[in-house]
Amino acid sequence: MMGPAHSLSGAAAWLGVGAAAAGFGHPMPWPVLVVGALICAGAALAPDLDHKSATISRAFGPISRILCEIIDKLSYAVYKATRTKADPRRSGGHRTLTHTAVWAVLIGAGTSALATTGDRWAVLGILFVHLVLAVEGLLWRMARTSSDVLVWLLGATSAWILAGVLDRPGGGSDWLFTGDGQEYLWLGLPIVLGALVHDIGDALTVSGCPILWPLPIGRKRWYPLGPPKGMRFRAGSRVETKVLMPAFLVLGGVGGLGALELL
Ligand SMILES: [Zn+2]
């Protein structure tokens, strides 16, 4: 899928989690619902950091371009090192390592560790990166026509404001994990979810997605998971923009109302 569909599905997924959490007796304070949905929308672009023309690889100027090259090389190396004879030869790392559940869990755990052990700047940094991505994903065309610096400024100011709201009593920095020193542990959750939703979105497209690596399926370790061929669509096709994106909007709306216990 393309950036906007990925981001929208990420936001909708977090709102759905909000509804489920309310059902299980852990309702999200509204800042957790809003910030989580934005982080998840941003995190849903992150796996494409292995592709130089993806939104994320251009979102932070030279930093993301260099990171993209490193991730692409790393992914390709891991692919070559773990492929079986049945996995096809390939020339780059796109849709390999960063498109697996293992990767999603690793970056989510890494973010949670950073958020709980780091200081306020760590939280601000995590918010900033994902808010910039959320703007790029959700407001795709508008972000493209405005300058990068404006989007970064918007990301920085909203990160600052939202961190302030989360830090207030009842604001939700201690949502779900209430122990001492566990503030912001939950920040990893929208990041795992965003990456997984991205993988599922890609699995629906023609080339599939190796979500379950390194579990062997058939004789392949990088088996491109997906529905039967007839149910797949091309990235950026009408199915994506005319059917899936409106569906994500509706599902996200319903999830959001459920999360706020308004249904
Ligand atoms: Zn992808």
Distance 237 CA to ligand 1 centre (A): 15
Distance 41 CA to ligand 1 centre (A): 14
Distance 50 CA to ligand 1 centre (A): 8
The whole-number pLDDT of residue 95 equals 94
Which residue's structure tokens are 């899928």? 1
Spatial contact of 233 and 204, defined as CB atoms under 8 Å apart: yes
**Which of the four pLDDT bands, split at 50, 70 and 90, describes residue 91?**
confident
Give SS3 for 213. Answer: coil
Round to whole Å and give the CA distance between 239 and 47: 22
Distance 1 CA to ligand 1 centre (A): 7
Distance 122 CA to ligand 1 centre (A): 26
Per-residue burial over 222-256, b = 16 or more CB atoms within 10 Å of its CB, e = otherwise:
bbbbbeeeeebeeeebebbeeebbeebeebbeebb
Residue 17, class by beta-carbon neighbours within 10 Å (0-12 exposed, 13-18 middle, 19+ buried)?
buried
The whole-number pLDDT of residue 46 equals 95
Distance 99 CA to ligand 1 centre (A): 7
Spatial contact of 154 and 146, defined as CB atoms under 8 Å apart: no
Which residue's structure tokens are 């201690």? 174
Distance 225 CA to ligand 1 centre (A): 13
Distance 167 CA to ligand 1 centre (A): 33
Distance 218 CA to ligand 1 centre (A): 23
Taking 90 as the threshold, does the pLDDT of residue 233 lie above it?
no
The whole-number pLDDT of residue 167 equals 93
Closest CA to 94 of 106, 82, 79, 108: 79
Distance 213 CA to ligand 1 centre (A): 15
Taking 80 as the threshold, does the pLDDT of residue 144 lie above it?
no
SS (H, E, C) 27-85: CCCHHHHHHHHHHHHHHCCHHHHHCCCCHHHHHCHHHHHHHHHHHHHHHHHHHHHHCCC
Distance 200 CA to ligand 1 centre (A): 9
State pLDDT tens for residues 161-189.
Answer: 999 999 999 999 999 998 888 999 999 99
Query: How confident is the model over 216-237, as a mean pLDDT?
Result: 90
The whole-number pLDDT of residue 100 equals 97
Domains of the chain, by residue range, sit at: 3-259
State pLDDT tens for residues 16-54.
Answer: 999 999 999 999 999 999 999 999 999 999 999 999 888
Spatial contact of 3 and 137, defined as CB atoms under 8 Å apart: yes
**Which of the four pLDDT bands, split at 50, 70 and 90, describes residue 81?**
very high
Taking 80 as the threshold, does the pLDDT of residue 114 lie above it?
yes
